[in-house]
Structure formats: C-alpha cells, structure tokens
Structure 1
Amino acid sequence: MKIIKAGLAALLVPGLVCLSMAEDRPAVEKSAEPGPLVHATPKVTSRDAASSGNSEVFENLVIAAGKTITLNSALDYSASDSVAVSVLCIICSTAATSLGNSGLVLQARWTVADAGDYVTTENRPATTFPYSDAGGAVFNVFGPQFRLVLQNKGTQTIALQQVTIFHRSK
C-alpha cells in the first residue's frame, strides 16, 4: 500500500508544483526516433486495477545514453481525458544520479484519424520531478491508443525499476 501511495504522490506532485523553464525554450532538435518496442503485459497492482483495467506496469527498463524505449499501451483511451505516467528509479538516490540530471524525457504519442504514424503531443523532462528517484506526468488524451516514448538525452544509462501508466474514464 505504501508503494501505491508513494507512486500516486510522485505522479501528482509534479503537476501541482510548477512548469519547467525548459518547456519555454524554442525547438532546436528533432523528436526522438522510435526506439525498440517494449510490449507490456499488464501487471495487476490492486483489486481496482484488475476490475477496471485502467493501469499497466512496465518493469526493469534500461535506456542507453542517447537512445529511446517505446512503450505501447494496450489500454483503450477512447473514454478518457488524461493519462498519468509514473516512473521509479531505485538507483537514483543522489542529486548526481537523479532522474532530473539523467536526461530522461517522457514523450506522449497518440494514434489519430488519417495520420500515418503516432503523433507526438507533449513532452515532460524529468527535471520537473520533485524527487531524485521518482516522478511523473499527466498527459492529455488525443486518441484511442497511447505510446509512451522514454528518451535518454543524457550521457549515462538510465535504469528504471518501474513505469506505471494509468487512466481514468470520463
């Protein structure tokens, strides 16, 4: 129960704190190239998740420096207006090894009508996370299928113990 509460707190706090100054900078680089797909087998984390099918958990993800990992959600977002993503890194225990200093960027992509590929809608850098080892973002829903791209813009490998994707129906 403590893990769920900590994950939820880590997920909600960044949205309540403030926006990163980095989000106001002009675009000077290309979006992340598609990385290897990591197919999720939803892991039941609570009785509520099992009955409503509203969350997925990805575990033990490793993102090499300068690379990306793509997580395709198997959930249907047609009846949702937002999706929340939470990340946890157990080795990110100091300021030097924090997710904020790692170069991690969460990128939301959606399928939309008449588009040939997933459309990137929002980016959230880990610099907005209030904790060195955990954080998250809430993204708006723009289509029925969600793809989360985890981009490593840093120079060191990032190891994530857990990534949770959660949505609530309208």
Structure 2
Amino acid sequence: MTTQLLSARRQRYALPLRRAPRSTLSGASVPNIVDIFVGLVSRLNAVAIQAHRTAALRSGCADIRAYARHMGESHVWMNEALLTALEKAGSSLTPDYLPSPEQQDEIDALQLSEAGHFDIDYIQFQNRLYLDMLSLCERFLRTRTPMANLNIYALTLCDYLKYHLSQFAPTLSTARASAA
C-alpha cells in the first residue's frame, strides 16, 4: 500500500477526539456545582473503567494488560471514594455511572481499534480522558465549595491523574517516533 493510502485508511479508523465536558462549573450555584461535578467525574470514571477493561482483554503487551487491570480496579476504588466523600458530606447525590452516548461511541471506537494500533490508541485515549478529568477537578477546586470531603477527593484525583499522565508522556513520544 502506498503511504497516502495508509494514512487515509488510518484516519478513517482513528479514534475520535475527546470532547471537553459540556457543562460549565463557573456560573452555577454551589449545590449545582457539586451536582455537575459528581455527575461528570463519575461518568468519566465509568469511561476509564471500560477503557481499561478493554485494554486488559485486547492489548498485545502483557505489561499493558497488567497495567490496565490495575487501573480499572483503581477507578472502581475512585468511584467508591467519591461515594464515601458524598456520604461524609451528608449529600444525597447519586453518582451517574453510565457513559453518555458520545462517551460510549468513543469506547466503542477504542474497542474496534485495529490490533496493530490498539496499545497506542489505548494510551492516547487514556491520556485524553485523564486530561479531561484533570481539567474538571481543577475547575471544581477553583470554585471553592464548602464540601471539604469532596475537595479532598478532587485533590487526590488530581494527583493520581498527574502521576499517570507523566508516567506515559515518554512512552508516547517513543512510540510515535518508532511508528514514523
């Protein structure tokens, strides 16, 4: 196949770019900010769980499969920590664990990713997702809500996401260079 045909084929099957979360936190009242944050972060955690479980099954690399299993379990734990934070704050909010239709389309695209590109597609998907989650947590923290337990949850999640984003930054550069 020619290079032009390969690049056209790759674009056709490329993963969609993640969209930024639609809801804004800045102009809402405190109860609405908390409700929006809890809904968005729990959905993003659900997306992460599905993506990591997909990678645990589909990756061709044993290290990535082990990493994905661990990360899937970690996001289950993060959802449990969110429930605990809400409970301790006396909130009656219930997290939403179902991905939106757009998010489900993105998960489906990852699941249909070509085997030869899956590992890179998975890491890129994870990094885009983590950047969305990090942005959401940072925006939530800037609103300075009076719910200390939820603020601690958001801070913990920020640290967790930053660590895992930095973990794969060198890997992606190397993978892109070797693919070229």
TM range (shorter): under 0.3
The alignment's TM-score, normalised by the length of structure 1, stands at 0.25
Largest Rg, 1 or 2:
2
Could you say which structure has the higher strand fraction? Answer: 1
Could you say which structure has the higher helix fraction? Answer: 2
Does 1 or 2 have the higher relative contact order (CA < 8 Å, sep 6+)?
1
